Chains A and B, each alone.
Chain A
Amino acid sequence: MKRAWMLAAIAAFALTGAVIPISAASAKTLKWGAAREIASLDPYSYGDTFTLSVLNHVYEGLVRYTGDLKIEPALAESWETVSPTVWRFKLRQGVKFHNGNPFTADDVVASLERVTNDASPLKGNLPAYKSSKKIDDYTVEIEVNGPYPLLLNDLTNIFIFNKAWLVANNSLLPTDSGKGVKGYATDNANGTGPFIVESRRVDAKTVYVKNPNWWDKPQHNIDTIEFLPIASASTRVAALLSGEIDFTNVAPLQDLPRLSASPEVKVLQTNELRTVIFALNLKDTLFESDVKDKNPLKDIRVREALYRAIDIDAVQKRAMRGLSRNTGALIAPAIPGYEPSQDVRLPFDLDGAKKLLAAAGYPNGFSFQMNCQSDGLVNEEEFCQAVASMWSRAGLRPNLSLGPRSQQTPKRVKGEFDVISFGWANEPMIDAYSILIQVMRSKSGSGGVFNWGNWGDPRIDALIDKAGVELDNGKRIPMMMEALKIAKAEHLFIPLHQQPMAWAMRSTVAATVQASDNKPRLWLTTMK
């Protein structure tokens, strides 16, 4: 029997191997612990901002955002409008793809056709596109459906493929989950960007190495990026504390004090572009209420009462751990269309709220359904619960429905709610036009996709439609401000805050650029 015990011990030891402490990361390898895996290596296969932001290290667009969210030339050197609907781009010369192929106008045309193909989930990112044509090897013209001021904003996220590579790998068309068409580009990449994909194991590790032939002057000193998705927040924090990762772009708020307390770890904290508001059901009747015949929320006094009943400082302190930025405006300061004067909130006034409710004919309040998500916005459960109890104190009877995003979204889309928590970042275009056309516009052919509660207003619609074809920013932006002003005066939405975002890095990382679009830009990151 002794032999059996020995064997077990030997087997256990063999399984272990020698127990070696995990050594620190080698010189210039940045280990990036992300909260989730990217959808694919094909930037056109899934309409997801995070996937695009990671792939932006490999692929590039004609233009790009700087660290402070200004548009600057990338693969295009300059551009001009030939007519209100035709844009001409001069391309950068001497750029090479990772496989050595030169970058030319053919690549741009093929990429634009691929991304606007009917099967492309990213088609919506280039809504105004009509056609493109090659003028010469380094000149491309893009025609849009009508005068459209935001083409450059859209193009920041349209990454350019190499046509010859697409042709060689039978990938001129995008993948199509509906038709069962999969593609070479899902697992392989060939861009012009600062990093080259070296190897990829989905859900485990993707390795990017420095592109020595990058056209731009590198401001980073990273040789290798190891992209490591770690879904569990506590595991990610543990990995950072133990030095298994150098950087994470998703540091959980509740762990920030612990992370900051470690001498090896630095926390970078700011506020996102995403503004969190409560959106209201403004249809003729409420969805789930003891008021059956009409919709009290259509009364501006009731909406103001809801607004005044929220003690935003308490929400900020309790639910958001002091990290959110209270807002009176519906968009963040970095978004064109923002106006400081709109950022002033109505003061918290519980008695005033009760008086307003009584004046509107609801001295005893009314019940309504509140739809919030458990995995959507930052600390969404917490702030929804906090606001629900504040509204109860004002005499209302909110009925909080909490559930995962995948379950709540279909109900929201169908308008089966009375109040929803709602966040809008105005990405990828980074312009107030995004929230105006998609959220506030009355439902129409192209607008109001997210107008789930029928909160449109004809005055706002008119301004949106005018701003949508105005090419002069000097006139366009005031139109958008005007529309936002009306929405604010009517209390169509109840603003809460810009949600916090936190990155954390070990002392191995010297500096990085953290913009409020929450996209890591490792090509602007240096290591010690």
Chain B
Amino acid sequence: MPAFLFKRLLNAAGVMLAVAFLAFLIFRFVGDPVELMLNEQASQAQRDELRIRLGLDKGFVLQFATFVGNALHGDFGISYRNQQEVFTLISERFPATFELVLVATFLSLAVGIPLGVYTAIKRDSWLAKVLQFVSVLGVSLPSFALGILFILLFSVTLQWLPAFGRGQVVQIGWWSTGFLTPSGRLALILPGITLSLFQITLVMRLVRAEMLETMRTDFIRFARARGLTLRAVHFRHALRNCLMPVITVTGLQIGNLIAFALVTETVFQWPGMGLLFVQAVTFVDIPVMAAYLIVVSFIFVSLNTLVDLLYAYVDPRLREDAISGAANAR
């Protein structure tokens, strides 16, 4: 097991380095921050000077090495535009994105699972068919269009919910939360639903498929034969067997949600990491762009590695040393 753990972690580190390299390579082509940082009146000498100060005159390999070296210390440099530490900038925005993702995940489970169960059990009812149809819409409708539709309906026409922002937030240490104030909770609704809609349909379709699969198995038939109530059969036996893949997918989707939050955050002016990234792109703020990509990939890689390790823990057949051990024994 320790060898397996070590190998997995090494893999993860390799992926991170590759991501960092790609990120850096891509940003070489984004443009020249100097032209956007200085205003119309700056002279050529000042432009050249700034380029040297920022280290943009150095070779690609040297810039990349400096970046990785600093990043290992948690130092992502200073934002060209905000003149603040990039790490601070990102960690200040992280709570906003995380809370949004949390709400979206909660909604996707709270709405997706019951709908999935319903459409599986009553799959011939008209409501189930409507839900199936709507779920296709939910998958194919882009979230920015949905967000703007929501804003038009709930903010402009009905004036129930705020169109943008996080409302009032409460600061707990370095974490800022919107859960504790009424305006903060109100502000979470529209972006939360917008972000979760894709997830809801995903969970619903997954639960439905798994339920249909399980319902056909022998043990459900035996459960019925034992004379258990339908509710016990559906929820205690069938649904419980479906939840494992749902939980796995949900866990893995958290990374996706953080990445997709970018669009939702832009539409709702949600002050999270995605919005920070979009602004950084506009102003060629390379340190922020690179750091964002690395933080998001880090979350992805960590989640995946964690899931892998848990699986290996649960199922010894997946461990390589177990396999080789078995081979030796033979």
A and B found bound together: yes
Interface residues in chain A, defined as those with a beta carbon under 8 Å from any beta carbon in chain B: 1, 5, 8, 11-12, 14-22, 36-37, 39-40, 42, 45-49, 118-119, 121-125, 127, 175-183, 186-187, 201-205, 228-232, 234-236, 238-239, 241-244, 375, 404-407, 409-410, 413, 424-425, 427-429, 434, 438, 443, 445-446, 448-450
B32/A409 in contact, CB under 8 A:
yes
B182/A235 in contact, CB under 8 A:
no
Question: What's the least CB distance linking B154 to chain A, in Å?
Answer: 9
Contact partner of B54 among A16, A177, A434, CB < 8 A?
A: A177
**Residues A242 and B159 in contact in the complex (CB < 8 Å), given A46-B81, A182-B84, A406-B30:** yes
A-side contacts of B231, CB under 8 Å: 1
Within the assembled complex, what's the spacing in Å between the Cα atoms of A20 and B40? 47
Within the assembled complex, what's the spacing in Å between the Cα atoms of A443 and B148? 48
A20/B186 in contact, CB under 8 A:
yes
B50 within 8 A of A: yes
B39/A409 in contact, CB under 8 A:
no
B-side contacts of A125, CB under 8 Å: 39, 41
Please give me the 9 A-B residue pairs with the lowest Cβ-Cβ distance, nearest first. A178-B53, A124-B42, A47-B39, A406-B31, A203-B271, A175-B83, A204-B271, A17-B185, A17-B182
Name which of B207-215, B272-280, B304-312 contacts chain A: B272-280
B46/A123 in contact, CB under 8 A:
yes
Within the assembled complex, what's the spacing in Å between the Cα atoms of A1 and B235? 8
B155 within 8 A of A: yes
Interface string of B88-114 (1 = CB under 8 A from A): 010011000000000100100010001
B163 within 8 A of A: yes
B-side contacts of A175, CB under 8 Å: 78, 83
B80/A177 in contact, CB under 8 A:
yes
Interface size range of chain B in the complex? 35 or more
**Residues A238 and B78 in contact in the complex (CB < 8 Å), given A46-B83, A175-B83, A176-B53:** no
B-side contacts of A8, CB under 8 Å: 110, 114
B246 within 8 A of A: no
Within the assembled complex, what's the spacing in Å between the Cα atoms of A181 and B79? 11
Interface residues in chain B, defined as those with a beta carbon under 8 Å from any beta carbon in chain A: 29-32, 35-47, 49-50, 52-55, 77-85, 89, 92-93, 103, 106, 110, 114, 148, 151-152, 155-156, 159-166, 169, 176, 182, 185-186, 188-189, 192, 231, 235, 266-269, 271, 275-276, 278-279, 281-284, 287
Within the assembled complex, what's the spacing in Å between the Cα atoms of A371 and B152? 36
A409/B36 in contact, CB under 8 A:
yes
Question: What's the least CB distance linking B185 to chain A, in Å?
Answer: 4
B186/A434 in contact, CB under 8 A:
no
Within the assembled complex, what's the spacing in Å between the Cα atoms of A369 and B287? 32
B185/A235 in contact, CB under 8 A:
no
A-side contacts of B266, CB under 8 Å: 231-232
Within the assembled complex, what's the spacing in Å between the Cα atoms of A373 and B39? 18
Within the assembled complex, what's the spacing in Å between the Cα atoms of A234 and B81? 25
B-side contacts of A1, CB under 8 Å: 231, 235
Chain B: CB-nearest residue to A120: B46
**Residues A428 and B41 in contact in the complex (CB < 8 Å), given A177-B78, A235-B267:** yes
Contact partner of B163 among A203, A242, A429, CB < 8 A?
A: A242
Question: What's the least CB distance linking A399 to chain B, in Å?
Answer: 21
Question: What's the least CB distance linking A444 to chain B, in Å?
Answer: 9
A-side contacts of B30, CB under 8 Å: 406-407
B186/A406 in contact, CB under 8 A:
no
**Residues A15 and B83 in contact in the complex (CB < 8 Å), given A203-B271, A232-B267, A410-B32:** no
**Residues A124 and B41 in contact in the complex (CB < 8 Å), given A15-B189, A204-B165:** yes
Question: What's the least CB distance linking A478 to chain B, in Å?
Answer: 23
Within the assembled complex, what's the spacing in Å between the Cα atoms of A171 and B25? 35
Contact partner of B43 among A122, A127, A375, A434, CB < 8 A?
A: A127
B-side contacts of A16, CB under 8 Å: 185-186, 189
Chain B: CB-nearest residue to A408: B31
B35/A231 in contact, CB under 8 A:
no
A-side contacts of B31, CB under 8 Å: 405-407, 409-410
What total count of A-B pairs have CB within 8 Å? 213
B-side contacts of A22, CB under 8 Å: 159-162
Within the assembled complex, what's the spacing in Å between the Cα atoms of A177 and B42? 17
A-side contacts of B80, CB under 8 Å: 177
The CB with the most chain A CB atoms within 10 A, among B79, B80, B82, B279, is that of B82
A21/B152 in contact, CB under 8 A:
no
**Residues A434 and B83 in contact in the complex (CB < 8 Å), given A176-B53, A177-B54, A238-B151:** no
A-side contacts of B275, CB under 8 Å: 203, 231
Chain A: CB-nearest residue to B189: A16
Chosen A-B contacts, 25 in total, with CB atoms closer than 8 Å, are A5-B114, A8-B110, A15-B188, A17-B182, A19-B186, A22-B161, A47-B37, A122-B39, A177-B53, A177-B54, A181-B78, A186-B83, A187-B84, A202-B271, A203-B275, A228-B269, A238-B148, A238-B163, A244-B155, A406-B281, A409-B35, A427-B39, A428-B39, A434-B41, A448-B44
Contact partner of A119 among B40, B53, B114, B278, CB < 8 A?
A: B53
Within the assembled complex, what's the spacing in Å between the Cα atoms of A193 and B195? 42
Within the assembled complex, what's the spacing in Å between the Cα atoms of A428 and B152? 38
The CB with the most chain B CB atoms within 10 A, among A20, A121, A443, is that of A121
Within the assembled complex, what's the spacing in Å between the Cα atoms of A1 and B32? 59
The CB with the most chain A CB atoms within 10 A, among B78, B266, B268, is that of B78
B43/A37 in contact, CB under 8 A:
no
Contact partner of A45 among B45, B49, B55, B83, CB < 8 A?
A: B83
B-side contacts of A15, CB under 8 Å: 103, 106, 185, 188-189, 192
Within the assembled complex, what's the spacing in Å between the Cα atoms of A244 and B281? 28
B42/A239 in contact, CB under 8 A:
no
Within the assembled complex, what's the spacing in Å between the Cα atoms of A406 and B93? 24
A449/B235 in contact, CB under 8 A:
no
B-side contacts of A205, CB under 8 Å: 165
A-side contacts of B37, CB under 8 Å: 46-47, 121
A-side contacts of B40, CB under 8 Å: 424-425, 427-428, 434, 438, 450
Within the assembled complex, what's the spacing in Å between the Cα atoms of A481 and B45? 28
Within the assembled complex, what's the spacing in Å between the Cα atoms of A404 and B282? 8
A182/B278 in contact, CB under 8 A:
no
Chain A: CB-nearest residue to B182: A17
**Residues A203 and B114 in contact in the complex (CB < 8 Å), given A46-B37, A175-B83, A449-B43:** no
Chain B: CB-nearest residue to A375: B282
Instruction: Knowing that A47-B39, A234-B267, A243-B159 touch, tell me 15 more A-B residue pairs with CB under 8 angstroms.
Output: A1-B231, A17-B182, A122-B39, A124-B38, A124-B41, A176-B78, A187-B84, A202-B271, A204-B165, A231-B278, A232-B266, A232-B267, A239-B163, A410-B31, A424-B40
Within the assembled complex, what's the spacing in Å between the Cα atoms of A99 and B269? 32
Question: What's the least CB distance linking B42 to chain A, in Å?
Answer: 3
Within the assembled complex, what's the spacing in Å between the Cα atoms of A125 and B37? 13
B50/A235 in contact, CB under 8 A:
no
B-side contacts of A203, CB under 8 Å: 93, 269, 271, 275-276, 279
